[in-house]
Structure 1
Amino acid sequence: MKIVYLTTGLNMGGAEVMLYNLLSKIDRDLFEPTIISLMDKGVFGEQIEQLGIPVHSAGMLVGKPSLASVKKVVGLIKQAEPDLIQGWMYHGNLAAQFFNFVSGKKTPVLWSIHHSLHDLPSEKPLTQGIIRFGSWSSKYVSKVAYVSEKSQGQHQKIGYDRENSCVVPNGFDISKFQPSAEIRQKFRQELGISDDTFLIGSLARYHPMKDHANLLKAAKVLLAEYPDTKFVLIGTNVDSENSALTDLIAELDISKSVYLLGQRRDIPQITPALDILTSSSAFGEAFPLVIGEAMACGIPCVVTDIGDSGWIVGDTGKAVPPKDPNALAQGWKEIINLEPDARAEKSQAARNRIVEKFALDSIVKEYEHIYQSVVN
């Protein structure tokens, strides 16, 4: 079965990671994937090509599709002659439907939605428009796959079709993400901190939805009571050149406790070194990969209750309201104050939850089953 994946882009992000993970495990005896990125090949283009999967880019600029790029995508789809077009993320979904119509064929189209609608007005105007347009056009799609149940309910509430929807959560490579004393020691040596220093980590690109200000304000609260705690922040534009971040850190007077490492591609070599993984998002999250990856490493998570974040964590960590630094700091305190045996139990429970419910192999089989049911 020939499948064209039409994605918004291939830069670093949870949806892009999940696309790569899916492609790395999909049964190539049954499925022949081709990737078309509306923008460029980003971070993952070369990695996907190394899987033996062709990757094409339309070269569109953000919010500025050109006639040349439109013609290029139409030509690539016609050349691929797909049995199925899989949209990936909002812009990719809309493009999948549009280009299928323009190509003049009735190829089945699937959408994949990786976003929640906790605070729709916080989205960019163009994204808001695409989301609202999707509420009308979703009934013309063969299947809409949401990565979270909460996201499915939120979209259906604003008019997305109920008859053709399903939930396929993100999956995690439990062999790649697992506890490791060796990784813990090595990464802590990189930071220059001891094994017994309590380390709280955030893995999120710099974006309003990630609400780094909430995290840093919560860090200020926590450090007043636990001054030896360290925080490591990793993600695109989360570095010393980001003046918005560095100015706030300086204003809060917590610079000695915060490490800004920017974008890293060795996340499996970092996550096991944490004591807590935290997600401080204010909106937009549906099923954050970083939470499941941390849990697979046996790391308790303290998260804001956006999308399915709280449900993923369950009773293995803590979910708190968004935009509330005191609540986030209190969640961290509860994990810090656990007795060693209780913390070890949470660690094991976190990994068990991912292994039992969200192992990557089983999630890939769900996608394969959907593809076969739609085409056949």
Structure 2
Amino acid sequence: MRSPLNVLHVITGLGIGGAEQQLRLLLPHMDRVRSSVVTLTNPGPVADALRADGVPVTHLGMRGNRDLSALPRLTRLVRHGRFDVVHTHLYRACLYGRLAARLAGVRTVVATEHSLGAAQIEGRRLSTGARALYLAGERLGHATVAVSDTVARRLAGWGVHPARIRVVPNGIDVPRFAFDPAARRAARRRLGLAPDAYVVGGVGRLAAGKRFDTLIRAVAAVPGDARLLLVGEGEQRERLERVAREGGAADRVVWAGAVDRGLPELLSAMDVFVSTSPDEAFGLAIVEALAAGLPVRYVACPALDDLPPGDAPGARRIGGTAPEVAAALASVTRERLPVPAAVHRYDIARSAQQLMSLYDELATSSRTK
């Protein structure tokens, strides 16, 4: 029987976000791996959750993007841990983590590209300099994991050699998101939503790229007393509150804030899910909404667009303007739907098995060189 691989995950931060939550979700399913985590900055709620799961987490205390003193500290940590694999996540961690792993002599270095959009990366506009630095760092690793076929094509278009790109999609714990009528009633009571209210849902970081202002304006234009349940936090919160006030929708928006384990209950409280983001790398929140049996309307979602037609019959692609979103909402039937085939393609245990197979393949290859 093979001994478990000793794997270090290096990530930029551990606040509540898609990449951070995905890492936490993966690790319990990687039974042939002994995992540790280093966060360069912000040991937030996901760090606490990982420690509660029994995963060692180290905070490197990096002070900013150009804190070069972090590199020797990270290199010493990697060398001392005698890791078989270093796996990096998010732009800054990929740059520093790949270099530290190489300096420490680690023979298998993997990175996951979570957030490469068509025109932005991690919500920031792409530039020639960012691309050049990304490609220089990428060459220090042995494989780059794309979370969707769309991201794989973007990486290849940037100049990453196709042989170095592997697709391992994001995953979810499908049964956890099953619709729960009791949770729906409890969540609506807690949030002050009437049992018969028409509740539109949106989930994600309150950042400009998510276009939640469009969703607020669309819900304000829906006839009747539609309500919008927004789940997430971010730097755009005050601006979005102002948009709601100025559009006469202040009493229509319920701000749920950031959540860790409570998302399934909030999805149960919704009647339809909308994603107005025009540029996504995967679209994890959309898959979670489908797992909750919600009809979905979205502007961009590689997780669905990369699949054969018919795998998600309850999801419809729509235009991204407020009138287009409002028109789409007005025609949605308020009924729970069966969980579609698309959701079962993205089971987290399946993604974890794919990653472990990649580790084994790369580790075996490094030993034969």
CA distance in 1, matches of 2:68, 2:253: 42
Asked if 1:278 corresponds to 2:268, the answer is: no
In structure 2, the partner of 1:42 is 44
In structure 1, the partner of 2:81 is 80
Please list, as runs of the form range in 1=range in 2, the aligned pairs for 1:203-282 lying within 5 A after superposition.
Answer: 203-222=203-222, 226-237=223-234, 242-265=237-260, 266-282=262-278
Aligned pair partner of 1:295 in 275, 290, 293: 290
In structure 2, the partner of 1:59 is 61
Note the C-alpha offset of 1:11: 0.8
Note the C-alpha offset of 1:120: 3.4
CA distance in 2, matches of 1:330, 1:132: 42
Q: 1:310 to 1:249 in 2, by over 3 A?
A: farther
CA distance in 2, matches of 1:373, 1:204: 35
Give ranges in structure 1 of 5+ residues lacking alignment.
none
In structure 2, the partner of 1:188 is 188
Q: 1:233 to 1:121 in 2, by over 3 A?
A: closer
CA distance in 2, matches of 1:183, 1:375: 45
Note the C-alpha offset of 1:309: 5.3
CA distance in 2, matches of 1:129, 1:206: 26
Asked if 1:358 corresponds to 2:354, the answer is: no
TM-score, L = length of structure 2: 0.89
CA distance in 1, matches of 2:134, 2:188: 46
Q: Deviations over 1:326-366 (max 9, x none)?
A: 2222222232xx3x6xx44xx1043x4312x1111111111
Note the C-alpha offset of 1:235: 0.7
Task: Assess if the C-alpha contact under 8 Å between 2:148 and 2:282 holds in 1.
Answer: yes
Q: 1:214 to 1:180 in 2, by over 3 A?
A: same
Q: Give the partner amino acid of 2:298.
A: V
CA distance in 2, matches of 1:113, 1:162: 14
Q: Give the partner amino acid of 2:67.
A: P
Q: Give the partner amino acid of 1:228.
A: D
Task: Assess if the C-alpha contact under 8 Å between 2:297 and 2:317 holds in 1.
Answer: yes
Please list, as runs of the form range in 1=range in 2, the aligned pairs for 1:110-125 lying within 5 A after superposition.
Answer: 110-120=110-120, 124=124
Note the C-alpha offset of 1:125: 6.4
Note the C-alpha offset of 1:45: 0.7
Task: Assess if the C-alpha contact under 8 Å between 2:150 and 2:306 holds in 1.
Answer: no
Note the C-alpha offset of 1:167: 1.0
RMSD: 2.3
Q: 1:202 to 1:253 in 2, by over 3 A?
A: same
Q: Deviations over 1:76-118 (max 9, x none)?
A: 1111111111011222222221112332x14211110112322
Note the C-alpha offset of 1:282: 3.2
Asked if 1:20 corresponds to 2:24, the answer is: yes
Q: 1:213 to 1:62 in 2, by over 3 A?
A: farther
Q: Give the partner amino acid of 1:305.
A: A
SS of aligned partner of 1:259? strand
CA distance in 2, matches of 1:61, 1:173: 34
Note the C-alpha offset of 1:182: 0.7
Task: Assess if the C-alpha contact under 8 Å between 2:11 and 2:89 holds in 1.
Answer: yes
CA distance in 2, matches of 1:207, 1:61: 23
SS of aligned partner of 1:98? helix
Aligned pair partner of 1:374 in 340, 349, 362: 362
CA distance in 2, matches of 1:25, 1:156: 29
CA distance in 2, matches of 1:92, 1:191: 37
How many residue pairs align between the two structures? 356
Q: Give the partner amino acid of 2:204.
A: A
Q: Give the partner amino acid of 2:171.
A: G
Deviates more, 1:326-335 or 1:273-282: 326-335
- Percentage of matched positions with identical amino acids: 20
CA distance in 1, matches of 2:226, 2:306: 27
CA distance in 1, matches of 2:179, 2:66: 44
CA distance in 2, matches of 1:331, 1:141: 44
In structure 1, the partner of 2:316 is 318
In structure 2, the partner of 1:305 is 300
Q: Give the partner amino acid of 1:315.
A: P
Q: Deviations over 1:5-64 (max 9, x none)?
A: 01111111111111000012210xx21111011113111111111222110111123434
Q: 1:25 to 1:106 in 2, by over 3 A?
A: closer
SS of aligned partner of 1:233? strand
In structure 1, the partner of 2:329 is 332
Task: Assess if the C-alpha contact under 8 Å between 2:272 and 2:296 holds in 1.
Answer: yes
Task: Assess if the C-alpha contact under 8 Å between 2:65 and 2:92 holds in 1.
Answer: no
Q: Give the partner amino acid of 1:174.
A: V
Deviates more, 1:89-98 or 1:361-370: 89-98
Q: Give the partner amino acid of 2:34.
A: E
Task: Assess if the C-alpha contact under 8 Å between 1:58 and 1:70 holds in 2.
Answer: no
In structure 2, the partner of 1:31 is 33
CA distance in 2, matches of 1:158, 1:46: 36
Q: Give the partner amino acid of 2:25.
A: N
In structure 1, the partner of 2:97 is 96
SS of aligned partner of 1:327? helix
TM-score, L = length of structure 1: 0.88
